[in-house]
Amino acid sequence: MVSFSSSSTPSFTVPTKTSPGTASVSFPRASESRKRGARMATVRAEAVDATISPRVSALRPSKTMAITDQATALRQAGVPVIGLAAGEPDFDTPTVIAEAGMNAIRDGATRYTPNAGTLELRKAICKKLQEENGLSYTPDQVLVSNGAKQCITQAVLAVCSPGDEVLIPAPYWVSYPEMARLAGATPVILPTSISDNYLLRPESLASVINENSRILILCSPSNPTGSVYPKELLEEIAAIVRKYPRLLVLSDEIYEHIIYQPAKHTSFASLPGMWERTLTVNGFSKAFAMTGWRLGYLAAPKHFVSACGKIQSQYTSGASSISQKAGLAALNLGYAGGEAVSTMVKAFQERRDYLVRSFGELSGVKISEPQVCLQYLLNIYNIYQESI
């Protein structure tokens, strides 16, 4: 029963099903409500069950989002802050892409799209995956979502059951373990070391796999380590994965274009026998400086894509129609995003070189030279030791 702090009349009385004629829920008339103002707004505390589901209670909020929001609030308050938490290019979205978004609005491409994304965009994604990654997919094996984050969450929800384990090489992008928890699965963290360039050792993987292992998440090029998995190492990992029919691989390739020569990106699904068990995730946020457009995609065998699509259809429906037009323009920029992307990558590489050189001159700081991405992982243990 809901009751307000004042019991004075007049009020509408709505009989409840449980106690007809006696128990009632009273709503003050609008005019009365205005007169009594704040007094009327006080709802008895015990009337509200503020319990949060265990699923959400167990969840940790994204630290990168929290720090980024804090930096934004400080900036708005006039404090000069440089946000280093979120992996976000500081370039604006290339003009041709932005124009395509604006034209989409002008041309009335402002309605719901198919849940899986427009056919033209999914066809363009298939073409890109074929030409740049050597992967063959048809449009019904592609699901466009509101960012790669949604793709990964849906994929984990779609294939993991409570008790399953999600294998995550560390250091990792902060959202992976929480996505596993959201699905009732257990994140299993696989340590790596700076001397291995933070790459997963095959023997470390082999030592943890059991019948509950459901997904291995591989992020290559990797946020936050800046490492890229060489093809030979991926092949060794594939040789282990192949022995476990229940084990799938979620290959997060969102940083594939932010890569510095001579590093080379290999899509895990392109390795022999891995297409069937790989969920490839990619998106537009990083390479095309489109973080705010919220556009990503999953490519996988149809049964996995359909399961993820089912979740999406009840959750958000298709991604923004405007962003999808912009995404199409991004893919039309040519191989690996053409000059628009290579200009940004060149600037990132110059900054990488500067930072690696500068930190290298500081005693007590260890840095592995990042070959990709926007992230740098510094080991400052020798300076701060117990205080961190």
Contact residues toward ligand PLP (CB under 6 A) are: 87, 147-149, 173, 219, 223, 252, 254, 283, 285, 291, 296
Q: Cβ closer to ligand PLP: 137 or 293?
A: 293
Residues in Cβ contact with 24 at an 8 Å cutoff, skipping those fewer than 6 apart: 1, 13, 14, 15, 16
**Minimum distance from CB of 46 to ligand PLP (Å)?**
40
* Residue nearest ligand PLP (C-beta atom): 147
How many CB atoms within 10 Å of residue 267?
23
**Minimum distance from CB of 268 to ligand PLP (Å)?**
14
Q: Cβ closer to ligand PLP: 28 or 221?
A: 221
Q: Cβ closer to ligand PLP: 28 or 150?
A: 150
Q: Cβ closer to ligand PLP: 113 or 145?
A: 145
DSSP string, 318-377: SPPHHHHHHHHHHHTT-GGGHHHHHHHHHHHHHHHHHHHHHHHTSTT-EE----BSS---
Residue 241 in contact with residue 249, Cβ under 8 Å?
Answer: yes
**Minimum distance from CB of 342 to ligand PLP (Å)?**
21
In whole angstroms, what is the distance from residue 213 CA to residue 210 CA? Answer: 5
Q: Cβ closer to ligand PLP: 44 or 351?
A: 351
Closest CA to 299 of 156, 149, 142, 134: 142
Distance of CA 355 to the CA centre of its chain: 27
**Minimum distance from CB of 49 to ligand PLP (Å)?**
33
In whole angstroms, what is the distance from residue 282 CA to residue 212 CA? Answer: 26
Closest CA to 182 of 168, 161, 167: 161
Question: b vs e for 107-140, b when ≥16 Cβ sit within 10 Å of the residue's Cβ?
Answer: eebeeebbbbbbeebbebbbebbeebbebebebe
Q: Cβ closer to ligand PLP: 4 or 155?
A: 155
**Minimum distance from CB of 82 to ligand PLP (Å)?**
17
Amino acid at 86: A
Q: Cβ closer to ligand PLP: 4 or 329?
A: 329
**Minimum distance from CB of 122 to ligand PLP (Å)?**
17
The DSSP element (H or E) to which 381 belongs, if any, is helix 381-384
**Minimum distance from CB of 310 to ligand PLP (Å)?**
20
